[in-house]
Structure formats: C-alpha cells, structure tokens
Chain A
Amino acid sequence: MGRSAVAAVSAARAQRAAATADPPTRPLLVFGLGVYFGVALVKSEAASWFRIQEMFRFESFHMYGILGSAVVVAGLSVALIRRFGLERPGGGPARIEPKEPGNVTARLAGGFVFGLGWALLGACPGPIYALIGSGVTVLVVGLASAVAGAWAYGHLRDRLPH
C-alpha cells in the first residue's frame, strides 16, 4: 500500500472516530433543557444584579447556597454516573473531560477580568440570555459587548500570557 493510501485510510479512520464521538444534536431536547435552566436562573434570582451585589458584599447566604448546592448535586450526579458506567448518547462514557490543569495565569487573570465584568453588569453569560428573554432588552447590548469581548480575546490570544 502506498503512502497516500495509508494516509487516506488513517484519515478515514479519524473521521469515523470523530463522527461516533459526536452525540446527536437533539435540538428540541436541548432547547427544553435551556428553558429549564433559564427558568431556574430567573426564579432563583441568580440573574438579578441586586443578588450579585449582595453576594460580593457577603450580606446574604442566598447566592452561596445556590452555587454550593448546585456544585454538590452536580458533583454527586457525575460521580454516580461514573460509578454506574453510564454512557452518553452516541456512545462513550458520560463524563466531564478534565480541563487542562496548566495555564495558571490564564485561569487567574481571565477569572479576574470576568469577575470585574460580572460585578459591573450583574450578570454572567447565562443570566444575560435569561434577562433578555425576561424583557431587560438593553442586555442585547450587553450580549453584543460580551461577544465583542470574546472576539477581542480570540484575536489577542497569542499575545496574552497563558
């Protein structure tokens, strides 16, 4: 077998592997889960600018209770899923891929910049979408600004410490 044929076979194999690794999109289901999350963001008031200020001022347990119990429930669920070896749709184990542990600077600096914005806008990305839906239409401008921020990061990436 010639070199190009070998390359073609391995490319086809890689393509197949990538295809099976892709779960089906299931748009209605994913949309429904989004609705569920959006309702929870509004009804928990995690989408409230006031709650974010209250959190950063340490004047109520509310937001810490939400985040803490969400982390515990998510952590226990993921551990149970692993314990029982459940699979994701499309095959393969249902697990959270570990994030690259390196990039200490990027995590801290990026996190810091995000925190500045979170306290100014009073909304992280999920609540931006939920608030737009709830009628705080000015957050369309907030969303456009956030997209611009992501765009700027994408173009400055090579020049930032990582």
Chain B
Amino acid sequence: MLEQPWPWYVAGPLIGLIVPLLLLLAGREFGISSSLQHICAATLPGEAEYFRYDWKRKGLWNLVFVAGVAAGGFVAGWLFANPDPVAIADSTRSALAAMGVRDFSGLVPSDLIGWSALLTLRGFCAVVLGGFLVGFGARYAGGCTSGHAITGLATLQPASMLAVAGFFAGGLLVSWVVLPWLL
C-alpha cells in the first residue's frame, strides 16, 4: 500500500501545505531553484555580483531542504517504489511510443534519461541541455515551479503569472515541436 502512487487530490494539497509549514516552522519562503544559486555561491562564485553574498546565512537552510528532498525521493522512489509503470493516458503513451520512447517501466524513460543514453544526441539534449535550460531559465525568471507556480500564484503575484505563462510557452514548444523531431 505504501508503494502506491497518490491521486492528485491527496498529493496536491499535501504539496501546497509545504508553503505554510516552511513559513511558520522555519520562517522561510518555499522555493527550490535558489539552491542552484547557493551552490554556485558556495563553490565557484567567480566575478559575478549575483553569487557574492553570505550563502550560509541566506542559503544554508535551502541546501539542507533540498538534501531532504533527495532523501524523500529515496524513501518514496527506492524503499517504497511503485512497481507499476506510471499510469499516464493511453494517448500520451502511444504518442511517445510512436516518437521512439521504449522504456515505460519507471518514473523516467531510461532509454532517454539514463547513463547509456547520455552519449546519444537525444539523451544529451534531454539531460545536459534540458538541465542547463532549467537552471538558466529558473534563475532568469526568478523562480521555478515551487517559487512561481505554487508560492507566487498562491499569493497572486503578477511576476509569477508571467513566469508561468513563459513556462508553458516553452514546454508546449518542446513537447509538440522539438520532441517529435528529436526523439
């Protein structure tokens, strides 16, 4: 039973609760992508003003938080991993299969996102290029799904509405135009 995935109406509210929990218990605003900035500030700030700050004071809590997220991934995705494939819509599955995705067994397709795929064009684009764009874009926009799409929309911030519009414009372009060509 612990291995089963949760329906959206259980998972969504539980994810939403992280905002008040962090705010009331730790006095912090929910956001993940600032951890990328803190990692740069802690390791290789270079000449950029953007990385020249006291990362321990501003960011240590955030780095502890994302370490917890990884540990949570271990608990839910390793110790109590769902043995069944992700129950995506049949139409999605057949469209992705037609594009050449082969492995539907886990959370990600290992023939695209896996060590052996990393040296293929599509695997490189998905993991290395995709990761780079995620980090660059999240910092350019001032937040990612957690900071903008959840925290920002929940507090009706115009900046976050713009950012989320951008998320979808980019995502739609890749899912509908780039992936059918790349995969």
Q: Using known A-B contacts A108-B163, A125-B36, determine if residue A130 contacts B70 with beta carbons closer than 8 Å.
A: yes
* CB of B98 within 8 Å of the partner chain: no
Q: Considering the chains assembled together, what is the distance between the CA atoms of A24 and B60 in angstroms?
A: 11
* CB of B83 within 8 Å of the partner chain: no
0/1 string, A28-41, CB within 8 A of B gives 1: 01111111111111
0/1 string, B64-91, CB within 8 A of A gives 1: 1111111111111110010000101101
Q: Considering the chains assembled together, what is the distance between the CA atoms of A157 and B46 in angstroms?
A: 13
* CB of B172 within 8 Å of the partner chain: yes
Of residues 1 through 42 on chain B, the ones whose CB sits less than 8 Å from some CB of chain A are 5-6, 8-9, 11-30, 32-33, 35-37, 39-40
Which residues in B have their C-beta under 8 angstroms from that of A61?
Answer: 8
Asked if B169 and A56 make an inter-chain contact with CB atoms under 8 angstroms apart, the answer reads no
Asked if B26 and A33 make an inter-chain contact with CB atoms under 8 angstroms apart, the answer reads yes
Asked if B133 and A149 make an inter-chain contact with CB atoms under 8 angstroms apart, the answer reads yes
Minimal beta-carbon separation of B81 from chain A (angstroms): 7
0/1 string, B132-175, CB within 8 A of A gives 1: 11111111111111101111111111111011111111111111
* CB of B181 within 8 Å of the partner chain: no
Which residues in B have their C-beta under 8 angstroms from that of A89?
Answer: 24-27
Q: A69-B13, A146-B36, A150-B135 are in contact. List 16 more A-B contacts (CB 8 A).
A: A34-B69, A34-B72, A35-B68, A77-B16, A108-B162, A114-B138, A114-B163, A116-B137, A119-B179, A131-B77, A133-B71, A134-B73, A145-B128, A145-B131, A154-B46, A154-B139
Asked if B72 and A138 make an inter-chain contact with CB atoms under 8 angstroms apart, the answer reads no
Q: Among the listed A46, A63, A99, A114, which residue makes an inter-chain contact with B170, where contact means beta carbons less than 8 Å apart? A: A114
Asked if A153 and B57 make an inter-chain contact with CB atoms under 8 angstroms apart, the answer reads no
Asked if A110 and B138 make an inter-chain contact with CB atoms under 8 angstroms apart, the answer reads yes
Asked if B20 and A133 make an inter-chain contact with CB atoms under 8 angstroms apart, the answer reads no
Task: Give the interface SS of chain B, mostly helix, strand, loop or mixed.
Answer: helix
* CB of B100 within 8 Å of the partner chain: no
Minimal beta-carbon separation of B165 from chain A (angstroms): 7
Q: How many residues of A contact B (CB 8 A)?
A: 120
Complex: chain A residue closest to B128, CB-CB: A145
Q: Among the listed A66, A92, A142, A157, which residue makes an inter-chain contact with B131, where contact means beta carbons less than 8 Å apart? A: A142
Minimal beta-carbon separation of A134 from chain B (angstroms): 2
Asked if A81 and B128 make an inter-chain contact with CB atoms under 8 angstroms apart, the answer reads no
Most A Cβ at <10 Å: residue of B17, B155, B156 = B155
Asked if A134 and B77 make an inter-chain contact with CB atoms under 8 angstroms apart, the answer reads yes
Q: Considering the chains assembled together, what is the distance between the CA atoms of A43 and B103 in angstroms?
A: 20
Can you list 28 pairs linking A and B with CB atoms under 8 Å apart?
A23-B28, A33-B25, A33-B26, A34-B64, A44-B8, A49-B112, A53-B96, A56-B172, A57-B92, A69-B12, A70-B16, A72-B13, A73-B16, A74-B151, A81-B24, A107-B142, A107-B163, A115-B166, A117-B136, A119-B178, A121-B133, A123-B134, A135-B77, A141-B118, A141-B128, A143-B131, A150-B36, A157-B49
Q: Considering the chains assembled together, what is the distance between the CA atoms of A147 and B28 in angstroms?
A: 22
